[in-house]
Each structure stands twice: as C-alpha cells, then as structure tokens.
Structure 1
Amino acid sequence: FLLAVGVGLAVLCWWVLANVGPLVGWVVTATFLALGLEPLVRRLEARGLPRPGAVALVVLALAAAGCLVIVLVVPRIVAEAAQLAGRVPALVDGLLGSEAFERLDARLRIRDSAERWVQELSGRIGSDRDFLGGIFGGVVGLGSVVLNVVTGTLIVLALSLYFLVSLPVMTRWAYRLAPASRRARVQELGDQMVRGVGNYVIGQTCVALLNAAVALALMLATGVPFAALLSLLVALLAFVPLVGGVLAGVLVTLVAATAGWGTALPYAVGYFAYLQVEAYFVSPRIMRRAVAVPGAIAVIAVAAGGSLWGVLGALIAIPTAAAGLLLVREVFVPRQDRR
C-alpha cells in the first residue's frame, strides 16, 4: 500500500510539473537572478550593512540603471528599429535585383513560385472565411503571448526579490533536510554551489556588457548602421554560452554588408579578433571565482540544456554542470578512494 501511495504521489508530482511548465521556468529564472545578485548583497553585508538594507540598495541601484537605460538608450533603439523597418523594402528590392539572385532564380524559378503564392494568398483572403478567422485568432494569440510575457516578467521580478531577501532562511531550511551527522558537509557544499552560481551570473553579465561595448565601438568606428539596436542584440546573445558571441558576430556582419563590404570586413575582423581575446584572456580572469567546467562537458551541457529547455536551458546548463561536477569531486570520488 505504501509503495502504491509513493508511486501515485510521484505520478501526481510529474503531472503537476508537466502542466505548469511556464511557472517552473519563471521560478528557475527568478532563482538564478537572486543567486546572481547574492554576491553583491553579501559584500554589502560584510561591510556591516543589514541584509534588508543591502537588498534594498542593490535593487535601487538596478532600478536606477534600468531607468537610465530606458531614458537614454531605448528611444535610440526604437528609432533605429523604425528606420530598419523602413529600409526593408529597399533591401528586398536590391536583393531581388542582384546578379546572384538572378542566377539563382534562373535555376530554381523562385520569382514565379513567389508570385503564385501571393496570388493564392490574395484569393484566400478574399474568399476564405476560415482563413480570416485564422488571422483573427493569430492576432488574439499574439496578444495573449504579449500578456503572458508581461505577466511572467512581473512574476519573475517579484519572485527574485522574495528569493533574494529570504535566501539565507531558505538555504537553512534546505540544509535541515540532511542528516545531522552530515549537515555541516552538506551546508559547505551547498554554499559552494550558491557562490559558484552567483559568481557565474555576475561574470557572464560582465562579459556580455563588455562584448556589447566592444561591438558598439567597432560599429561606430566602421560605420555599421543601426549600431544601438545591434549592440543590444549582441548583449543578449552574449549571455548564451559558447555560440552566442559567434552568432552575434555573424548577424551583425550580415547587416553591415548592406552598407558595403568595406564596412562589413573591418567589423568582422575586429569583432572576431576580440572574441579570441575574450576566450583566452577576458573570460578566464572574470570567471576565475565562478564555475570551472571542462570545455567538452560545457559543450555537451549547453547542447543538452538547449534541447530540453530552449534558451533558458542553455543559460543554466553550465552552472548546473558545475554543481554536478562539484558533487562528483567532493562526494563520489572520495567514496571510491576509500574503497
């Protein structure tokens, strides 16, 4: 009977987790944000500031930085996004009139296929009520997506603040689940994991900001259009381990090619040269107090995390792998040595 109850509870927990996927993602994101801010709070606590005051000071500093970005950067990004949207028709016309496209169209008949698709689409819009209903449903679905994003952002911010304030209490309660004879060792390993994840989040943030600053400087020096908008894209992609910087370099180079190869090539050379400097000099110095994961395990972890949980899985893959390596090194390896 107890075995059946245990299996039933396990199935119930699995069903709950499978049906509250967005909530789990929000909780994980909030946890990593709280752990990323924890080293800053601990430094302020070490200087004699009470934890509530340290948390309030960190949150106010982040809020001030966010407001400064909104006031100074967001209007420029919005203006450049509008300019990019206005240039899209000209870019498409230039692509369709290029010699390379003409040679490709002569072999694959792309233009004829596109014209037939547009004609069929126009006919469906005029006669198919289901199609119009699908468009309306798509608009409603887009609105629900935007609402979910806003709701998720607010929930993540609220949970991050709560986790940051109550993190010591939460960790103490978690350590009490361990047997009393091993509680000190569990607490030591748990504190190492918390510090490692926090240092990783702060270190990755510093690397991403530095990456975006270098990319912005190169864009301004070489004359790449939409520099502010593209630097934001570089900063976001730089948070993705291993492949984010390369992908950002390729995308910005493609955009820079619209202004001419005299603009794209200098930017590509400078940015990819910086990526080498970042990989061998910048990241090791910034991440020396964070997690240490071998390259092969990092690649496997990022690939597995991205496959299982998308971008969020790729972001948390390396800290999770580091925590697993710490347990293996501190727990399982000494047991094997004793045998």
Structure 2
Amino acid sequence: MSEPPIAVPTDTTIKQTRSLRSDIVFTFALALGLYLAWVVRDVLVLLYVSALFAVVLMPVVNGIMKLRIGGWKPGRGIAILILLLAVGGFATLFFVFALPPVMRDLREFFNELPTRGPELLSRIRHVPFMQRVNVSVLNTKLQDFATNFATYLLLSIRDWATKLFYVVAGIVLTIYFMLEGEAAYHWVLSFFPVDMRQRLDVALARAERRMGKWLLGQASLMLILGLSSTIVFLALHVRYAYALGVLMGVFNIVPIAGAVITVSLAILVAAIDSWTRVLGVAIFYAIYAQVETSFLTPRIMRSSVDLPGIAIIVALLLGAAFDGIIGAMVAVPTAVLVTVLLDEYAVQPEPIISAPHPVTEVQA
C-alpha cells in the first residue's frame, strides 16, 4: 500500500498564515495602545492643549519678531519672553492693585452673612413671584453655607494644587512647543510617506492660519464683554466696577463658563450693598448671554475661523462635555483643525458639469 502524499505548503498558504498572525498582533497592539492612551489620557490632553495654544499664540510671537528697534530685531526666544513679561506684568498689576479690595470686602461679607442674611432674604418677599418662598429655609441654607465655606476651601486645597500644577506644566509645555515645535512637527511628519507627507503639510499649514485667527476673534469677544460689563457696573454703582469688568473680560477666554464664574463674583460684590444691584447684574448677564450665544459668537467666530455658527455652538457643547472648561477653551480651534482635515481627505467635491450649448438650427 502506497503512503499518502505529504501536503507541501504553498506560497499562498504561507502568506495567508503570516497575514492572519499580523492581523492578530496588530489587533492586540491596537488594544494595548488604546488602553495605555486611556490610562495617560490626562497627560495626552495636556500635551494636546499645550500644542494647540502654541499654534494659536505663534502669530503673536511672529508679530513681535517683526518689530525693529534701530537695527535690533528680536528673535523667537526674545519674542516669547516679551509676550510672557507682558502677560505676567498685566496679571501682577491686577492681583496687586485690583483684586485685594474685592477679596477683603467679600471676606467681610461672608463674615456678616449670618446676621445680614435675614435682611437680604426679607427683600426677596418684595420681588414678584417670590412671595411663596420659604424664607426660613433659605436663611438656614445661607447660615450653613457661611459656616462651612472655610471648611470647603480647606478641603479643596488639594484639588486646587493639582490644577495649579497642570496649569504651570501647560505653560512650560506651551513655551517649549513654541521654541522647538517645528522640529517636533517635522519629526511627526517623517512617519508618513513622502507624497502623503506633502499633502498633510499643506493641509496643516492651512489649518494653522485659520486657528491663529481664532485668538483675534476670542479677543474681540473678551473686549466686548469687558467694556459692556464695566459700563453696566458703573451705571449700577457696583463696587470695583473697573476691576470686575477687567476680570469678566479676561475670564471670557473660557466660553460661557468663564463669564458665569465672574458674574457670580460680581453678584456677590453687588449683594454687599443692594439687592437691586444684584438684580441689575443678573438681568444684564442674562441678556448678554443670549446676545453672545446667538449673535456675537457665531458671527465673530465665523468671520475669524470661517466656521458656521451651528458648528461653533456644537463644538463648544462637545468640548465642555468632554473635558469641562479646558475642553470649551480649545473647542473652536479643534473644530477648525477637524474641518480642514475633513475637507482635505473626506469631503469629495462635486464635479462641475458645464451647461450644454444651445443647438442652433441649420437653415436649409
């Protein structure tokens, strides 16, 4: 009896086996990479935000580099240093001269809140639709809040210290990205094939120009809120109107959330003197929030970064849902980047079909 023939693996079988092994290894490597990215997601977000702010601030640095004093022209390092000194000097002046009086009066307000609380709450009874409010319950809540406010601040020191560390680390990373970002950028591009690399470089350069204009649009929104709030605070005779107006304008770099935080501070300052001023500040911000969300932000940002108004609002909502205040801050530049990449690689332009020429009748 003859033995059965031995099956010899063909080249096709070997290639299929190698392909199957490669797919399995790639799947496990992708799963491991996603898991590691999730573990270090905070660091990745910090790197992304720092790189994004470096891109956004580079037009300012380039503008400083174009300055000439006699025959001297600042380099990139000196331009970044000038920018940091300008921001640091402004912040120092504000914290030294404007903020201490506000904090002193707020501290006195919280100390007097248990005794002044009933007086403030009694005024609520004169506000329309507020006659049914249980004043005793609100008075108890205010007293508990005043009693536990210091405890809350003490317990939150650890969280604030962690956030402060991330802020300092983000500033340092942003400076390094502005100084050495081009080398890192070309290193990342080197992983792509040459033809794809050139196309990606052109698309990212286009995104950088549009993202740089975002800072101009955001600065316009900050200036509008700062000036309008200062005028309203002066008209209402709110204490420290100039300081609160500057604070509202600066914090408006965080869309929606920054203004909410500062208007809460303005309401507390107004509550020191008059309940009518509190109501005036609240009405002003309620009107301004509607105007900014529905009119100013879509139009200013559309002219700056060339995005539809609905795209800007959706980007802000998604950014805030993804990472809170930081997500809202970088939502619009990120939307610009995503839009440019989608236009380059995903959106297929419609073919231009020329209209047929009219057929002229040939006369016999």
TM-score of the two chains, using structure 2 as the length reference:
0.70
AA at the equivalent of 2:203: L
AA at the equivalent of 1:221: A
Q: Unaligned 5+ residue runs, structure 2?
A: 1-20, 68-72, 145-150, 353-364
Question: Which residue in the other structure is 1:89 paired with?
Answer: 114
Whole-Å separation in 1 of the counterparts to 2:47 and 2:278: 43
* Deviation sequence 1:264-312 (CA, Å, 0-9, x none): 4488459946974897579856873x31221222222222222221122
Contact map agreement 1:38 1:198 (CA 8 A) in 2: yes
Contact map agreement 2:54 2:174 (CA 8 A) in 1: yes
Instruction: Specify whether residues 95 and 60 from structure 1 end up closer, same or farther in structure 2 by C-alpha distance, changes over 3 A only.
Output: closer
* Deviation sequence 1:30-73 (CA, Å, 0-9, x none): 22332232111122344554322322222232222232223222
Is residue 124 of structure 2 the alignment partner of residue 104 of structure 1? Answer: no
TM-score of the two chains, using structure 1 as the length reference:
0.74
Question: Which residue in the other structure is 2:43 paired with?
Answer: 23
Is residue 47 of structure 2 the alignment partner of residue 12 of structure 1? Answer: no
- Identify which of 98, 102, 105 aligns with 1:77: 102
* Structure 1 residues 94-243: aligned runs within 5 Å: 94-98=119-123, 100=125, 103-105=132-134, 110=137, 142-225=156-239, 227=241, 230-231=244-245, 234-235=248-249, 238-241=252-255
Alignment identity in percent? 19
* Structure 1 residues 44-63: aligned runs within 5 Å: 44-46=64-66, 49-63=74-88
Question: Which residue in the other structure is 1:43 paired with?
Answer: 63
SS of residue in 1 equivalent to 2:64 = helix
Q: Unaligned 5+ residue runs, structure 1?
A: 119-135
Instruction: Specify whether residues 275 and 69 from structure 1 end up closer, same or farther in structure 2 by C-alpha distance, changes over 3 A only.
Output: farther
AA at the equivalent of 1:313: G
Contact map agreement 2:118 2:139 (CA 8 A) in 1: no
Q: Which has the higher helix share?
A: 1
Is residue 65 of structure 2 the alignment partner of residue 65 of structure 1? Answer: no
Whole-Å separation in 2 of the counterparts to 1:246 and 1:142: 20
SS of residue in 2 equivalent to 1:333 = coil
Question: Which residue in the other structure is 1:261 paired with?
Answer: 276
SS of residue in 2 equivalent to 1:103 = coil
Question: Which residue in the other structure is 1:322 paired with?
Answer: 336
Aligned residues: 318
> Higher mean Cα deviation, 215-224 or 61-70?
61-70
SS of residue in 1 equivalent to 2:78 = helix
Is residue 18 of structure 2 the alignment partner of residue 3 of structure 1? Answer: no
Q: CA RMSD in A?
A: 4.2
Whole-Å separation in 2 of the counterparts to 1:74 and 1:252: 12
Whole-Å separation in 2 of the counterparts to 1:166 and 1:222: 49
* Deviation sequence 1:123-174 (CA, Å, 0-9, x none): xxxxxxxxxxxxx9x8885342132123222211211111111122222223
* Structure 1 residues 294-309: aligned runs within 5 Å: 294-309=308-323
Whose relative contact order is higher, 1 or 2, with alpha carbons under 8 Å and at least 6 apart? Answer: 1
Contact map agreement 1:32 1:201 (CA 8 A) in 2: no
Whole-Å separation in 2 of the counterparts to 1:196 and 1:206: 16
Whole-Å separation in 2 of the counterparts to 1:139 and 1:246: 20
SS of residue in 1 equivalent to 2:306 = coil
- Identify which of 10, 24, 34 aligns with 2:54: 34
Instruction: Specify whether residues 297 and 206 from structure 1 end up closer, same or farther in structure 2 by C-alpha distance, changes over 3 A only.
Output: closer
SS of residue in 1 equivalent to 2:192 = coil
Instruction: Specify whether residues 295 and 84 from structure 1 end up closer, same or farther in structure 2 by C-alpha distance, changes over 3 A only.
Output: farther
